[in-house]
Chain A
Amino acid sequence: MARILSILVGLFFTVALAWSLGLGFYTWATEPAQPTAEHEFHEHPKHVSFASDGPFGTFDKQQLQRGFQVYQQVCAACHALKHVAFRDLEKIGYNEPEVKAIAAQFQIPKYDEMTGMVETVEGTPTDYFPPVMYAGQGSPPDLSLITKARHDGGPYVYSLLTGYQDQPAELLKHFPEAKTPDGLYYNPYFPNLNLAMPAPLMEDMVTYSDGTPATVDQMAKDVSAFLIWTAEPTMDKRKQTGWPILGFLLFATILGYMSYRNIWANKKH
């Protein structure tokens, strides 16, 4: 009885699935899926390496400072960095007076309990990067976590910043309706190929304090490295902590294995 019931229930599900499968197959065979411009022209991020890559990766503080310069002078006009505090900048090699000076360049909205008014005051090291008032088209995302919030984050940001180009003629030929609308910019590294942000970097836009030539490629790499850091400032500590722990565990496991062999030595199993 139980067996008959179970087979009936089994048939219920398998027949329903076969029905879905059959109709699905028919649709698939008779109406092949139309290719889309996104599918054909979207590109995976370029290969680019950072000092923080890999299990031994650490941050290149010099590069992070350059990246911060790019963020401050270019990106900060539209993009906030709300999870990062000015004091965090000490971790990338700025000293206390420098951090104070950087913080003071930002205006922080503060709620005054006495008057009930919001007033802006000069930032101090304990403040976080302030919200950015943006009035243009689109909605620039906060950049604190951007490299964690995108697949292949660092290379993605780098590719996006260096990937602006004219729409390929072939794309327009095959997908005339996919022409980049006015006010948007074509970039094959962006998921739907068109984004509201115009190419933000131009040669020598930033004068690096360490004298590195500010090419678009260099700036893109530096700011990507900086954003890898903002997404996880504790990453170097994490990787450095991991090795001794793995070493200890390996040692303990070998000891554990030896005692296991020892205890079972006379017990066939």
Chain B
Amino acid sequence: MSFPWAKEYTPSHPFMKWMDERLPVPRLVYNAVGGGYEVPRNLNYFWNFGFLAGLCLVLQIVTGIVMAMHYAANTEVAFDTIEHTVRDVNWGWLMRYAHANGASAFFVVIYVHIFRGFYFGSYKAPREMVWLLGVVIFLLMMATAFMGYVLPWGQMSFWGAKVITGLFSAIPLVGEPLQQWLLGGFAPDNAALNRFFSLHYLLPFVIVGVVILHIWALHIPGSSNPTGVEVKSESDTVPFYPYYVAKDGWAIGVFAILYCAMVFFAPNYLGHPDNYIPANPMSTPAHIVPEWYFWPFYAILRAFTQDFFFIPAKLMGVLAMFGAILVWFFLPWLDKSPIRSSSYRPLYKKFFWFGLIPTMAVLFYCGGAAAEEPYVMISQIAALYYFAHFLIILPIVSAIEKPKPLPFSITEAVLGKDEDAKLEPSA
């Protein structure tokens, strides 16, 4: 599971020895995030975001548990219990804003983490399982975030729930019964609110479980690195403690400053004013928009405005929206290039920076805008590129691209030379 030169856990205190022979949790921690985990020495700051994502998960669970102590999942009082928490519970406003903005922070971090993976080919062998589990985590996060947004039972909560569960009604034959089964009724109501609360409390712990698998799968081959060249010798790595603990430590500081600036000075900036209006099934908001982190996928959903042969436009949109994420599952097999890092892939790098990134930015913008021209046409062009990028361009590029020469090793990439390069490569 680790490199031969990784230090072994050697308890010195008698109690720790006693413990190690019975329940070796300290050994597990030492090998996972301590001196026993050898990590490539050349990681850049994009590699801090995995650790930050874990931090966000903990933050959400802690603030969420406190919020749940003051919340009641009942359509009559849900809105009022949140207001009660904010106004009358000691530091309740802090918990509420920390939780609401924590969701946004989590998605910011996770998007950087995912796109780091796209750029540096983190999904490639032997890390396919790490990637697949990561996509599962992302899907679970989306479900959790969506259901959490319904809980305050404001206007956007209600209408968001109605629109999103309405997507299932697009499925032929079983769509409408399925939607009613999911909601426990014909429209979002008390039954829906209760099950959303139940699942919103459950899913984060499912995420914790998948995160453990994600990290476990990562620790089999070890972390990837910006060159994409696998670790060859001891000079390529440094132990996680103290090196990356120190680096993650100060990254946490930067993250915390930005996050707290939002929580304390602009806590409602990312929210929608309509969600401060209690849910009213009789009054439809002028623009129903999801939270910002769903905008790119919402834009894809709305980009399909015409029936395609016998497939209704709505079903196409639903297929495409889910497909836009599901396609990530196939990435390790769509991208056949043996080169991981885009630094050595001149053609793919161009498509990444001038294709995928602007496309995501445009989809993001259009998803938050009203469903009117020219935004619909712009989002159609962007969505078109999105699917072309992953399903057409990526397989072709990876077949025809001529990569740049790779460094012999991480050590050579960092120091400019590696003595081992002249000899035969060491184990």
Please list the residues of chain A having a beta carbon within 8 angstroms of any beta carbon in chain B. Answer: 2-3, 6-7, 9-11, 13-21, 23-25, 28, 33, 55, 83, 88, 141, 144-145, 148-151, 153, 191, 231-234, 237-239, 241-243, 245-246, 249-250, 252-253, 256-257, 259-260, 263-264, 267-269
Contact = CB atoms under 8 A, between A and B. Distances in A.
9 contacts: A16-B316, A20-B305, A20-B308, A145-B276, A149-B273, A149-B276, A246-B264, A263-B242, A267-B238
Interface in B261-305: 261, 263-265, 267-268, 273-274, 276-277, 286, 303-305
Contacts of B387: 10, 13-14, 17
Given A2-B333, A260-B247, A267-B238, A24 B380 contact: yes
Given A6-B395, A10-B390, A16-B304, A256 B277 contact: no
A83 B83 contact: yes
A191 B276 CA distance: 17
Interface of B: 41-43, 80, 83, 86-87, 93-94, 97, 238, 242-243, 246-247, 249-250, 252-254, 256-257, 260-261, 263-265, 267-268, 273-274, 276-277, 286, 303-306, 308, 311, 313, 316, 320, 323, 330, 333-334, 336, 372-374, 376-377, 380-381, 383-384, 387-388, 390-392, 395-396, 399, 414-415
Given A17-B383, A249-B260, A253-B253, A148 B305 contact: no
Contacts of A232: 86, 93
B80 A9 contact: no
B265 A24 contact: no
A129 to B, nearest CB: 13
A225 to B, nearest CB: 18
Contacts of B313: 20
Contacts of A239: 264-265
A6 B415 CA distance: 41
A241 B264 contact: yes
Give 4 nearest A-B pairs by CB, closest first. Answer: A242-B264, A10-B391, A253-B253, A256-B250
Contacts of B238: 267, 269
Contact of A20 (B273, B303, B373): B303
Nearest to B261: A246
A75 to B, nearest CB: 18
B304 A20 contact: yes
A165 B68 CA distance: 47
A264 B243 contact: yes
B377 to A, nearest CB: 6
A246 B260 contact: yes
Nearest to B268: A148
Contacts, number: 171
B341 to A, nearest CB: 16
A159 B183 CA distance: 41
Contacts of B83: 83, 144-145
A14 B260 contact: no
Contact of B86 (A141, A153, A234): A234
Contacts of B320: 13, 16-17
B253 A257 contact: yes
A11 B242 CA distance: 50
Contact of A260 (B87, B249, B267): B249
A13 B260 CA distance: 41
A94 B143 CA distance: 46
Contacts of B304: 16-17, 20
Contact of B380 (A21, A55, A242): A21
A17 B380 contact: yes
B250 A257 contact: yes
Nearest to A151: B273
A189 B399 CA distance: 58
Contact of B330 (A6, A33, A264): A6
Given A10-B390, A17-B384, A260-B249, A238 B93 contact: yes
A239 B376 CA distance: 39
Contacts of B273: 148-151, 153
A7 B391 contact: yes
Nearest to A245: B260
Contacts of A3: 334, 336, 395-396, 399
Contacts of A191: 286
A16 B380 CA distance: 10
Nearest to A17: B384
A9 B391 contact: yes
Of the listed residues A11, A17, A144, A234, the one surrounded by the most CB atoms of chain B closer than 10 A to its CB is A17
Contact of B264 (A21, A151, A238): A238
B55 to A, nearest CB: 14
Of the listed residues A11, A13, A191, A242, the one surrounded by the most CB atoms of chain B closer than 10 A to its CB is A13
A101 B334 CA distance: 74
Contacts of A253: 250, 253-254, 256-257
Of the listed residues A33, A153, A242, A249, the one surrounded by the most CB atoms of chain B closer than 10 A to its CB is A249
A264 B243 CA distance: 7
Contacts of A145: 83, 276-277
A23 B292 CA distance: 28
A182 to B, nearest CB: 23
Nearest to A191: B286
A245 B415 CA distance: 40
B257 A249 contact: yes
A256 B395 contact: no
